[in-house]
Amino acid sequence: MTAARPTRMSLGLPLLVGALFAASSAPFAAADPDLFWHLATARETLARGLVRTDLFSWTVAGSAVPADQWLGQLAWYGAYQVGEWRGVVGLRTIGVAILVALIVTSALLARRHGPLVAALAAIPAILLSRFSWTERPELFGTMFFAGALVLVRAGRSGSDRAMIALPALLLVWANVHGSYALGAVLVVVACLEGAWSERPRRRVYALVATCSLAATFATPALGASWTNPGLHLLHPPRDIQEWAVPDVGTAAGALYVFTLALVLGCAMLVRAVRPRDVIVLVPTALLSLTATRHMQLFAIAAAPYLAAHGPDALRTVRDALRLDVPFPRLPAATPATARADALVGVAAVLLIVGSVAIAPRAPDLTNFPVAAVEALPPGPGSFNAYDWGGFLIWYAPRTPVFIDGRLVPYLDRTLDEYKTIIGARPGWRALVDRLRIRTLLVHPGDPVAVRAADLGWRVRRASAGFIVVEVP
Amino acid sequence: MTRPLVPYALPLSVAAAAFTLAVGLPSTDPDTYWHLASGRWMVDHGAILDRDLFSSTAPGQPYSVGEWLGQVVLYLAYAAGGWSGLAVLRALCVATAAFFVARLAIRSTRSALLAVLLTSAAIILSKITWGDRPQLFTLALFPLTFDLLLSARDHARLRAPTALIALPPLVMVWANLHGGYALGLFLAAAFAVEAILTRRAPVAFVGAAVLALAFSFADPGSLGIGAAVAHVNAPPRVIAEETPPDVLTSAGALFALFAVGVLAAALLAGGTLLDALVLVPLLWLALSAQRHLPFFAFAAVPYLARALPPPRDLLPRRAPLPDGVAVALAIALTVGAAASARDAPAAPDDARYPVAALPALRASSGVLLNEYDWGGFLIWRAPGRPVFIDGRLFLFLPEVLNDYLVAIELRPRWREALERRQVSQVLIDPRHPLAEALRDDGWIVLASGARFVLLERPR
């Protein structure tokens, strides 16, 4: 009897699903409020070198700012330079395609001969990853996380090449987005588990863990590179929607809890999981409970588990019900050929290129105060709503902002001052005087706008979405 | 002689410790006051209170929070022993919960240490729901019902599960005590489904569940199972306890440990159909609002006790505690707990309430807009001044709550909201924007402190 030769995994399904979801995302114009300050930072980086101090605000001008996403910012700016806003959408579309393809690949690695099961298991992760389909370095971070899962799985299955690729991945990741910290922890834990259970490859695991950790320090911030991820993890700014706690009352929250419940229910009904699955799922579950933006990470990590064990759980339920129903025969994977993969790859590329070709040429500025820009005075003294800071940095560079989505430089003092003024909390008028604020650019429903109207302050410009008020 | 007591020694010891811990805490819950006021009215009038008597915004409107018996019991405890009586009632509920959670634990493990550790963690987590409110009864009755159903399930292997006879009357009482009785029905349903699937006494379990559901309707002021489920499905997020759990708080972190502990144990050791039927929905419930966290932890205790390796496998082996010593320890702890009841606080902790505003309030009149969390306090301490809003939320949905939020958060048309309700006095936290806006508008400060300000409209 000869052992069955392992078949090569087909890349057709990941490519096809990735391209389909990417194409579905392409018609949406760039609209992320943080995109603009990322672009502006990258522009300054190219013009003057790495941006280490604030250049855009009047409240923390000259203060140190983190430079931990410089490479990700350059990527977005590069796309903008190449194709303007359509270039940005194009890069986002490619990022979505790669992310979705990696999620499906990860599920397919866990069930090589069940492409339909793998695709179904990947659906919660794909839908939740929609959260990071934005024009920010976060998209690359999520992409790298999915990639790291694929490499860890392949590496633990015996591929030294996959293991060696991990430090390289982390080197890039650490310069693109702060989520690299999760990747580093994942790799180190996987290596520890590998070294424990697979003694002959101990040296490989030790080397990969050491190099991966070292790679995370190869950033402009060196040793301080871990400060930002730690700060955000332990002190998430709950006022910002994506840092709020997961809420089952929202669609994304419900899908996340459904995924968590699915994994738990599956685990209850199916025994004997390898520790390598536990060391990925449990820390990711803990992280996902901390903030809305982390929910997707658990779903991505769970996709291969659900692909591998979901059908077994269903069989257990069927057996418990003592139903005499044969388990549906799911289509098995046809042997993959390089030619078939190449054909699907070409089709995927054509689909992505075609969808980008008809993508919007301009960003969606519906939620931004476009008509207010001309009413803002140049120089310091303008108070703006948080979500509009990035927009103003890009579209009103002569008017430095009070605050914007970079958050970290504002944490010490400015964020509290912002909350006091925007909420018209006691002492807000004294603060406006002390900071010499000349203009307010806020939403008409913000308490400060309501109070300014009560006080009869002059309105320079107003619409349904914004109001520019002159401070007397 | 001590042998019959041995199985109860550990649960009794844990319960005694929990009692001692709980009885020493002063009453702080803002809803306690309106529950007491409602109970007092029902005891005085010999009728169920089904209309609003306390507010200026919904006077005479019919309502029910489905907890009339719970309110009466709370008031009787207060009438019997003042605030100390309430503390003792609270401690009894917590001790009952601890007793049955410990019983659930030792059903699943022979390690007393593991049982005590898991029970202690679950009871500490439950501290977020130790307010002196009818939900205390759910805290006690949930693990009791779980234990009862597990006993019946164990007995079903050998003989008829007679313990199930207790379930319908238990749910009937529970339905009148607190709206959390839906959790009892959920447990009954989960066991019934398992009984059907495993064909182990399905008639008994399904019959008990159906009877329990029928008995739950024997509540003259019931919230109704539909309303209870709707409340869980759409929790009012403006109330802190109805917000999703934050794992970076101490209670949230403890819950997260239970959640990932259960996940890790399930991945490594699997579980039973019943584990899945009970724990998966309770995890969803816990993630929906932090007030539900303890129930997941309680239900997780027996599962984790079964799945985790006993600590004695990790620690140097020691001889088990002799039975006589265990019983003596339980008796000593119980006596100590009983003695600790003498130190129950004789007054509530009212540091967070506007106590210093009471004289000015009593000496004035007019429609008062009050801080949401102070409504109950005012109902109890200033009964002559109807409140704008209080913790009886359902009564104020949606118009009154909306007007309250518009005014307090200084949203557009806040003045119209005050005019529409003819508000002439405002008693709120001075950090609200409304406080400063009214001062600017010339409202007169009648009283103020670090945590409150009482303002009156200029005449």
Residue A4: its pLDDT value, please?
Answer: 45
Q: For residue A27, give the nearest of A120, A174, A133, A121 by alpha carbon.
A: A133
> Which residue would you say has higher pLDDT here, A440 or B232?
A440
Query: In this complex, which of B266, B435, B436 lies closest to A267 when CB atoms are compared?
Result: B266
**Interchain contact A464–B (C-beta under 8 A):** no
The greatest distance separating any two alpha carbons of chain A, rounded to the nearest whole angstrom, comes to 91
Residue A288: its pLDDT value, please?
Answer: 95
- Percentage of chain A exceeding pLDDT 90: 74
Bridge partner residues of B456 (DSSP): B425, B444
A350-387 pLDDT, tens digit per residue, is: 999 999 999 999 999 999 999 999 999 999 999 999 99
Min distance A149 CA to chain B CA atoms (Å): 18
- Provide the chain B residues 326-385 that lie in CB contact (below 8 A) with chain A: none
Query: In this complex, which of A236, A281, A426 lies closest to B267 when CB atoms are compared?
Result: A281
For helices A275-288 and A295-321, angle between their N-to-C axes, nearest 10 degrees: 120
**Interchain contact A430–B (C-beta under 8 A):** no
Token pair recorded at residue B143? 């693990």
> Which residue would you say has higher pLDDT here, B240 or A423?
A423
- State whether residue B247 is helix, strand or coil: coil
Residue B445 CB partners (closer than 8 Å, separation 6+): B439, B453, B454, B455
Q: For residue B193, give the nearest of B184, B202, B181, B183 by alpha carbon.
A: B202
Average model confidence (pLDDT) across chain A: 90
Contact B400, B389 (CB under 8 A): yes
**Interchain contact B442–A (C-beta under 8 A):** no
**Interchain contact B410–A (C-beta under 8 A):** yes
Q: Is the pLDDT of residue A188 over 50?
A: yes
How far is CA A237 from each of CA A228, A245, B327, B432, rounded to the nearest angstrom? Answer: 12, 10, 51, 21
Token pair recorded at residue B219? 């509540």
B260 vs A282: CB contact, 8 Å cut-off? Answer: yes
Residue B5: its pLDDT value, please?
Answer: 60
Contact B264, A278 (CB under 8 A): yes
Over range A92-100, report the average pLDDT. Answer: 97
Output the tens digit of pLDDT for each of chain B's 459 residues. 445 566 788 999 999 999 999 999 999 999 999 999 999 999 999 999 989 999 999 999 988 778 999 999 999 999 999 999 999 999 999 999 999 999 999 988 888 889 999 999 999 999 999 999 999 999 999 999 999 999 999 887 666 678 899 999 999 999 999 989 999 999 999 999 999 988 888 999 999 999 999 998 887 766 666 776 777 777 777 777 888 899 999 999 999 999 999 999 999 888 999 999 999 999 999 999 999 999 999 999 999 999 987 665 555 555 566 778 888 888 999 999 999 999 899 999 999 999 999 999 999 999 999 999 999 999 999 999 999 999 998 899 889 999 999 999 999 999 999 999 999 999 999 999 999 999 999 999 999 999 999 999 998
How far is CA B383 from each of CA B260, B380, B392, rounded to the nearest angstrom? Answer: 48, 6, 16
Assess: ipTM above 0.85: yes
Alpha-carbon distance B68 to B179, whole Å?
Answer: 10
Query: In this complex, which of B199, B275, B412 lies closest to A268 when CB atoms are compared?
Result: B275
A269 vs B431: CB contact, 8 Å cut-off? Answer: no
Bridge partner residues of B170 (DSSP): none
Residue A1: its pLDDT value, please?
Answer: 39
Q: For residue B233, give the nearest of B241, B224, B242 by alpha carbon.
A: B242
Give the mutation candidate from A250, A287, A289 for the B interface (greatest B CB count, under 10 A): A289
pTM metric for this prediction: 0.90
B436 vs A270: CB contact, 8 Å cut-off? Answer: no
Alpha-carbon distance B260 to A281, whole Å?
Answer: 9
pLDDT band at A469 (very low <50, low <70, confident <90, very high): very high
Bridge partner residues of B51 (DSSP): B62
A197-221 pLDDT, tens digit per residue, is: 888 999 999 999 999 999 999 988 7
- Contacts A247 to B, Cβ<8 Å: 237, 244
Residue B148 CB partners (closer than 8 Å, separation 6+): B163, B164, B166, B167, B170
**Interchain contact B202–A (C-beta under 8 A):** no
Residue A258 CB partners (closer than 8 Å, separation 6+): A124
- State whether residue B408 is helix, strand or coil: helix
pLDDT band at A444 (very low <50, low <70, confident <90, very high): very high
3-state SS string for B320-383: CCCHHHHHHHHHHHHHHHHHHHHHCCCCCCCCCCCHHHHHHHHCCCCEEEECHHHHHHHHHHCC
Q: Is the pLDDT of residue A328 over 70?
A: no
Token pair recorded at residue A205? 């695991």
- Provide the chain A residues 282-311 that lie in CB contact (below 8 A) with chain B: 282, 285-286, 289-290
A245 vs B244: CB contact, 8 Å cut-off? Answer: yes
Min distance A451 CA to chain B CA atoms (Å): 7
> Which residue would you say has higher pLDDT here, A104 or A113?
A104
A259-318 pLDDT, tens digit per residue, is: 999 999 999 988 766 788 888 999 999 999 999 999 999 999 999 999 999 988 888 888
